[in-house]
Amino acid sequence: MKGGVTPALFSLLEAIINAQNGFNIAKVRADFPILTRETRPGVPLIYLDSAASSQKPNVVIESMNDFYRKSNANIHRGIHTLAEEATFAYENARHKVARFIGADMHRQIIFTRNATESINLVAQTWGRQNLQPGDIVILTEMEHHANLIPWQMLAEQAGIRLEFIEVTPEGLLDLDNYEHLLTLQPRLVCFTHMSNVLGTITPAREIIRMAHAVGALTLVDAAQSVPHFPVDVKDLDVDFLAFSSHKMCGPTGIGVLYGKKDLLEQMPPFMGGGDMIKRVYLRSFVPNEIPYKFEAGTPAIAEAVGLGTAVDYLTSIGMESIAEHERELISYALERLEEVPGVIVHGPSAEKKGGVAAFSLDNIHPHDISQIIDQDGIAIRAGHHCAMPLHDKLKLPATARASFYLYNTPEEIDKLILALYKVKKILG
């Protein structure tokens, strides 16, 4: 290796940190049954694709199985034992999520299918109710399609105007450009808390403060932040915040929208059906109170149970401990990647990003990189990562992306580096 942290020193430093904060990587890895899998005989899985979807610990899997075995029933409508148990489990998960992100009350937590649906909900309720032709919504050039296309659709439907905070060559948001855009008097500012491509952690508190100073509301796509470091909605003073269960050790099929109470109460329902009503007549209806106004039909009950257990699991380890582990991992990963001739890592330096390393290798297509290293059991992402405009900005058709979570180790990074040398040998 070049100068810097050696694997041995990394292990020593991590052991010291683990002793201080109680984070035990061996114990954490033992909690995830899939990490014992071999992708082919003698080839253990090395999962470096958590930015797309995280793996699930045993406690989450078993909590959902236990619900189906013992308490499966529909919620809110029944008064028999199973219905009451299922309702308690579902609503208890809502309370857990509220505490996890620092919400004032559980009623501010809306369960959706995912972060994408959460953002669409805001666009199609608050947006259609409040935005007029010519009104400005500010986004950024690094947004995931989930926080871009809903606003493009609303622009077509309602005639709103979209403006974009530029991304600097370093991979950061240009706050001078943002300050200029704020002079246009936007109604809403929507931005990612952490880029799923560049790993950039945006200065959310400052962006929100500046938006509020000109009378704009804010929406934060927290799909890549809530799973990885502490997020407190009151500290941020954010108006809406969206994230997904499946990226934070929970199941697929359930996500969260947080909103300030007065905003949620003023918004119309998103979908019509059962449970989102207080009274129904043949030609009209009275909507239910929040959060149920936005949760039409039978919800993802077992998935809510799994999400609640995932929250318990992450809380037991400690979000700051997880964040520190990932900071060490990304620092080590960037150093090792820079050793490989022809590798270009996109995005800012380690201290300004989360556990995401998107990179290019010579002129080799990322799909070829991914396919070759998959032979060594290494799972990374290859493509535009649902961020085509950002890749256009970078003048790249695609990138390879390694992303890290609480269960990854420096030894897995070392194996990634060896695999990239193998790619160069085959295709370089």
**What residues are labeled active site?**
386
Contact predicate 424/339, CB 8 Å = no
Tokens 């193998």, residue?
Answer: 422
Nearest Cα residue to 409 out of 333, 335, 344, 357: 333
Tokens 């990239």, residue?
Answer: 420
Long-range contacts of 86-90 (CB under 8 A, 24+ apart): 86/301, 89/301, 89/304, 89/305, 89/308, 90/299, 90/301, 90/304, 90/305
How far does CA 237 lie from the centroid of its chain? 19
Radius of gyration of the chain (CA): 22
DSSP 137: E
Q: What are phi and psi of 101, to 5 degrees?
A: -105, 10
Q: How many CB atoms lie within 10 A of CB 337?
A: 19
How far does CA 307 lie from the centroid of its chain? 14
Q: What does the angle CA 114 – CA 115 – CA 119 come to, to the nearest 5 degrees?
A: 125
**How far from each other are the two terminal CA atoms of the chain, in whole angstroms?**
21
Spatial distance between the Cα atoms of 245 and 112, rounded to a whole number of angstroms = 10
Q: What is the DSSP string of 199-224?
A: -BB--HHHHHHHHHHTT-EEEEE-TT
